[in-house]
């Protein structure tokens, strides 16, 4: 759900909702407009995955099958995933 949260969306968001959220957030957080580069890159990464139908399906399946052991462990994994992509 991290990518959906990055765009402020629910799991069942439509393609138009995803595109609209990306454009709105990218405009607000773009580094050329004084936004945070880290937040902007997180928004871009989320859109690259859930903005494409095929990669979204793969992401949804992977995410739904991932066992959650604890909130702390999940936070560590999300942070590691984020920094691996930077």
CB 51 within 8 A of CB 18: yes
- What is the structure's pLDDT at 71? 66
pLDDT at position 70:
64
Domains and CATH numbers, the chain: 2-85 (1.10.287.110)
pLDDT digits (tens, 9 = 90+) for 9-61: 998 999 999 999 999 999 999 999 999 999 999 999 999 999 999 999 999 88
**First vs last C-alpha separation in the chain:** 19
Q: How confident is the model at residue 69 (pLDDT cuts 50, 70, 90)?
A: low
- Please answer whether residues 85 and 45 qualify as being in contact, where contact means their C-beta atoms are separated by less than 8 angstroms: yes
For residue 66, pLDDT over 60 is answered with: no
What pTM value is reported for the model? 0.70
């Amino acid at each position: 759900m991290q990518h959906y949260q990055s765009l402020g969306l629910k799991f069942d968001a439509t393609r138009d909702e995803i595109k609209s959220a990306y454009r709105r957030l990218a405009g607000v957080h773009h580094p050329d407009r004084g936004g945070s580069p880290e937040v902007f890159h997180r928004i871009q990464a989320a859109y690259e995955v859930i903005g494409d139908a095929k990669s979204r399906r793969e992401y949804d399946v992977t995410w739904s099958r991932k066992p959650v052991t604890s909130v702390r462990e999940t936070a560590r994994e999300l942070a590691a995933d984020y920094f691996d992509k930077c």
